Structure 1
């Protein structure tokens, strides 16, 4: 039998109930310009640039479902006071012809008690390598509250005019920490077997679907590999993807890797900008980053489509739409993703370097990204995420 031709990545497509003008998603990259949990003009401008640059959908990161679920007190927090600004944001993006998604989640052990003033939560008690604070064990009441908070966030996202939400199940944020056998040593119904460790993530996805129905597209960002010994890995990721597909909770799954808690550079690949990270830290922390930062911020060789090898294993196991992330820099990689059976691609650093890259690729398929994968954009999150090679202004 003749195989159907792969889809055109720049042609219109559907993501659940949402019509997109193309299959390119601006991946969630924490923008660092929200203030006191609210939208700012700078945040709107950030996403308008990417919408005007041609993406099918841009993703707002990261919108916490609970006060203690933030990595900084300035991150957007789902509450009624945030809705007017979020509406201004969605209207501005829609005016440029793009759709807009909100990444929703709970930072869990990645949360920063020194900034939020609230205890970070995790599957069990441990000392945070990020903040030095003690992470508190999440009880059943916490988990029930947080599941409901995800559902409430989806309802508010609809009210604010979002087209989609992306549930954060990666990077050892709370749901991902429960998935990890390295971090989750519980002996109750949320620990032990892969099915128990996946219970919390599946409960969240079901609650979001029940709250949103077909009024939103629902995606989830799922780790394939934590990048640490004894962590969540591909074999269990495939099983979790199958469970999420069987639950019918999601319209698409975006595949990612790495641990913001234990090995953040595993996702990004390329250079580890230790000097720039140290310079961005408060003075007492700066010396420690210079002396010991290399233990956590490791360099990994970059290549285009660097998550594809793992992602195609998930692709072979499920039929639901998948989003390929990681080293998507130009039309050849996008076309490769379509040939491999992925329905969407997600881009981050390449679009920080050139927000209009998709428009340029549409005009000339031979255009290549100017991103050099130096990762010096990463420390900029503390003052407003940007490519350092582009003059500020």
Structure 2
């Protein structure tokens, strides 16, 4: 391996050029009333761009009404394009690129709130919606694959620089990858090669759409679980094999490595304090009572450390040649430099930028002294705010 990259050096991501190697990770913003872009959402991403990131990721952009996490989430359709275009222009005006996180929530979808059927590899009960997800048929899967391509076309028409295809956290594609959630016996179940068909089919359709006119007009990345963090779920070895297939398929410009399950173990991604009390307060009865009584089982606590996914991600770095994005506990220059030294091409940041959208500018101005430290204390009380308006409860950020 040659000399480590400078995290503040410009970088190529497919056809896009980023001013640095720092990506604002997808963190659901809860700022899309009517399932459309609002001025509030534009201000959110404008603040991230003005704060110095190379690219800001809009989350979450569902491919269909039923693919949303809940009824307030944006879904990609012609009516959404003008707002997305204004958002892209605002981010570009601050010198950053912009990406749309695109996917189908699958069993994570709130069917009651969406007023649409949720899909899963098999019949699955979602306690948040108090509804069963329906087992996806071959026709359903074909529709979802096509919907991803259509959603990407909307992102292209809106002037976005990249799309991030959501293959993690037990959303639909991830739930098919999971041996715990996917007990099918048809062509989409059983062996990993079958369970990976949905993810690979989606990415092939996306790549065809991106190159429809002969050359790529937008970068394509994906978010993939290294581990679900639950017994019987996706583990490192199977995730590595899936990543090898995705690399061989040639559909991606970069892969972002993540972990945890929105369904059964969300704290495996976040680490730090488990805000059970705050999550309980975000729900109405009887879910509020259930969360109070059983929340510590759902929100298991894992100690926080900087760059906490680096050790697992290094296994992927050794096996793969494609560009990789490191996520998890990137809060200061030291963690960034460790990622670059380990051969990662980009780093992604979430909670630290919710607390301080201008953190990147301050880190860059600080240079190699590495004295700037994030105000984020990993209390994770920002997590329950996704049901109202996502923000840091300590600093109040991000604000317009």
Give the TM-score taking structure 2 as reference length: 0.96
Map of 2:384 onto structure 1: 379
Shift of 1:72: 1.1
The one of 131, 140, 158 aligned to 2:156? 158
In structure 2, the residue corresponding to 1:336 is in which secondary structure? helix
Deviations 1:344-380 (A, max 9, x none): 0000001011100000001004211111000000011
Map of 1:251 onto structure 2: 253
Distance in 2, matches of 1:283 and 1:237, equals 38
Say if 2:244 and 2:320, in contact at 8 Å, map to a contact too.
yes
* Structure 1: 4+ residue segments shifted above 3 A: none
Distance in 2, matches of 1:173 and 1:351, equals 24
The one of 307, 310, 314 aligned to 1:308? 310
Map of 2:230 onto structure 1: 228
In structure 2, the residue corresponding to 1:36 is in which secondary structure? helix
The one of 153, 173, 183 aligned to 1:175? 173
Say if 2:128 and 2:287, in contact at 8 Å, map to a contact too.
no
The one of 288, 297, 322 aligned to 1:320? 322
Map of 2:128 onto structure 1: 130
Shift of 1:38: 0.3
Distance 1:391 1:180, change over 3 A: closer
Map of 2:193 onto structure 1: 195
Say if 1:38 and 1:82, in contact at 8 Å, map to a contact too.
yes
Distance in 2, matches of 1:167 and 1:129, equals 26
Map of 2:3 onto structure 1: 5
Distance in 2, matches of 1:35 and 1:7, equals 41
Map of 1:298 onto structure 2: 300
Distance in 2, matches of 1:125 and 1:379, equals 27
Shift of 1:284: 3.3
Shift of 1:131: 2.3
Shift of 1:148: 0.5
Q: Does 1:282 align with 2:273?
A: no
Deviations 1:183-215 (A, max 9, x none): 001111111101100011000001000001211
Say if 1:130 and 1:261, in contact at 8 Å, map to a contact too.
no
Distance in 1, matches of 2:224 and 2:88, equals 25
Shift of 1:37: 1.2
Shift of 1:289: 1.2
Unaligned runs of 5+ residues in structure 2 are: none
The one of 37, 46, 63 aligned to 2:35? 37
